[in-house]
Structure 1
């Protein structure tokens, strides 16, 4: 049944679907907050691996495995009438690896094989995360009407950010309560439990059937269609280019705390405070951006959010104490909330109903090399010139993003 003829179905289940989606997000974010890749996972791995290249490989592997497979899933979804039936399989496979990671710590005695298994299992988690992401976004665009999409995702992101913060606190408690390395095993298994609660809520979602393209074409033909989209849909192409500039710029965020440590006497308590300010800001501004999107449209909100990012990078050159650094982290949370709450729906809005999944997948695959290249470029700028040059470069890239969006992208909603 066509989605245009099923507004009654969507409206009938709208409140239930919004509540279920929020519960799904809360449980998933609570678990994710316990195991951020950049902190908990990398810190654990660093106990056994002293090679920075091998440690960095984990992040690179995760980025590639999350983004690249999305285009294959997007092609598959276009011939399927129902996303939830696909999501029930890939999301389960996304959540189960946490139990295996926890068990590997308890039962694999040889540390080399244990770490090897962690890499493999986390790689599987990343793969199924990418496949789940494009499917989930496509389904949510189907069941959440565009008139409230900005507010809903803004509020949802605010709530899940709070859950993520609470999850990080529980992680600290668990790590101090049990002995190493079994404390990490307990944390990983707990993450799996919370994510299974998330899965139960997700599976209660009500979704109408909607066939977009019943005929499945060979991938080589599908790839040609992708090139046609890039060549003919200039609006999408310039939107991706503008976000690509922001993706490169945001690699500088990885070096903020490192730079701050070189000029300020930062303590672990200071880091905890900065993290709290960042997450609180992300929660509050998710709601602000959501309301602004429904009133002013995606283009205006994307530009406003990335202007906040621009200010935060320029302020990095004027750090004189914890006050300015705290202000920068608040700005960073505000900017990041646009990327989390608004950007996926902005990309969705460019593709329309028929090509929604394809646009999501194509954007993901185009951002992959930029996500991998950004930290390298920023590292080269820091080593070759200075931290200030890297932050100034990030600011210029953000300015380029805003200018490209303003001049080249035409979208009202």
Structure 2
């Protein structure tokens, strides 16, 4: 069949352009835009990641927030409930966000909204600590933790899509390595400062609220830098807009058409389920030794310091070999660090175990978030990110709640043992059933 002729082009005397040629031209223009704006976009993503992740690590590290919730509630189960609420917000939010942005040429405006609302939730946690007491404080903290998780679930999709659009695949690992390393370094220093000078002396009447305000300021500066610097290209093709429920029905097909991707999802779910133990690492240490503000700061420093140093290794390794190998190493390290924490209860060993846990979880996060960008077709990327985020959130929602119940009923050892079992299963599945998507794609060309 002949290509359709544009009547305006015909009047102007221009030759008709075949659809295939037109698409190739747009693809070339898209690639040129990406490389022409790479330095600016690289800097914007670097500053956003460095400052944003600095603040988010202060909130998400398995030290400050679990310790604060335990202090105001006195219950392991409530600690688990708080972390479960944070993850529950990420169950449907990614799928909804994916369905709302996959047809859009520009997604930066949506990223600003989702990112901004997530940061407001952190500020509200701080304000609740200063102005509320007793049960009102606990209820407010649980609500705002849930809201934080909701907006972070949506943010994960739109920011993942932005990185895939503006950063070439060969540069993503190094970008994440340097931004995570510098952000982790700042966060590690601030964690030590927060433990010693904010939380220990209860600065401004509530050291935890002071810490959360610092997190809010840093993450807001990172978001502002991204908005100012980023130049977003319009992709050559996008999916047509569809109803949310229709895209939900498409999710099983998206998973089933790629066996390696389906197994990767299972690995994600197992690894996320293993986080059943994460909020109880610091509580276990407090059960074994006296948990002072100084010790809390030192262990947070170990956890975030490992994040800083290991990211340089994980990012460069991933760019060279693909991120499947990073995922294997990080899960193996996660298992070893958990065993060390369980078996040896002296100060240096506890410090080393938290260092190992920080490095392992940094490697897992980088590998999981980067590998997902390399499966399948570009037009399906928003929903593929959303499906992965939702799969993780489903298991992460139930995990802390079940972990809190298990810790109260059976003790921390059973919780840690269950975590090790799920990590081992994920390691074996990754080793035997998941192909490196970068290698598989190149082989198919």
State the distance in 1 between where 2:358 and 2:67 align: 23
Contact 1:24 1:198 in 2 (8 A): yes
Alignment correspondent of 2:358: 333
Alignment correspondent of 2:184: 161
Per-residue deviation, 1:64: 0.8
TM-score by length of 2: 0.81
State the distance in 1 between where 2:260 and 2:398 align: 24
Distance change >3 Å, CA 384–CA 35, structure 1 → 2:
closer
Distance change >3 Å, CA 280–CA 44, structure 1 → 2:
closer
Aligned pair count?
Answer: 411
What's the CA shift string for 1:31-80, capped at 9, x where partnerless?
A: 33444475444555556545654554322211111343101111111110
Per-residue deviation, 1:178: 3.8
State the distance in 2 between where 1:253 and 1:302 align: 18
Alignment correspondent of 1:294: 319
Alignment correspondent of 1:308: 333
Distance change >3 Å, CA 223–CA 99, structure 1 → 2:
closer
Contact 1:25 1:198 in 2 (8 A): yes
Alignment correspondent of 1:245: 270
Moved more, 64-73 or 29-38: 29-38
Alignment correspondent of 1:16: 40
Moved more, 94-103 or 10-19: 94-103
Q: Which of the numbers 183, 192, 200 marks the counterpart of 2:224?
A: 200
What's the CA shift string for 1:161-212, capped at 9, x where partnerless?
A: 112223324534345374424x555554444333322221010211101154
Moved more, 314-323 or 144-153: 314-323
Alignment correspondent of 1:138: 161
What's the CA shift string for 1:290-349, capped at 9, x where partnerless?
A: 111111112122112211122223334531533333332222122111122221011121
Structure with greater Cα Rg: 2
Alignment correspondent of 1:148: 171
Distance change >3 Å, CA 104–CA 249, structure 1 → 2:
closer
Distance change >3 Å, CA 263–CA 406, structure 1 → 2:
same
Alignment correspondent of 1:74: 98
TM-score by length of 1: 0.87
State the distance in 2 between where 1:405 and 1:87 align: 31
Moved more, 372-381 or 396-405: 372-381
Distance change >3 Å, CA 321–CA 171, structure 1 → 2:
closer
Per-residue deviation, 1:240: 0.9
Contact 1:33 1:166 in 2 (8 A): no
Distance change >3 Å, CA 239–CA 34, structure 1 → 2:
closer
Tell me, which stretches of 5 or more residues in structure 2 are unaligned? 1-22, 439-445
Moved more, 341-350 or 187-196: 187-196
Distance change >3 Å, CA 310–CA 49, structure 1 → 2:
closer
Distance change >3 Å, CA 402–CA 362, structure 1 → 2:
same
Alignment correspondent of 1:171: 194
Report the aligned-residue RMSD: 3.1
Q: Which of the numbers 374, 378, 384 marks the counterpart of 1:349?
A: 374
Tell me, which stretches of 5 or more residues in structure 1 are unaligned? none
State the distance in 2 between where 1:335 and 1:149 align: 19
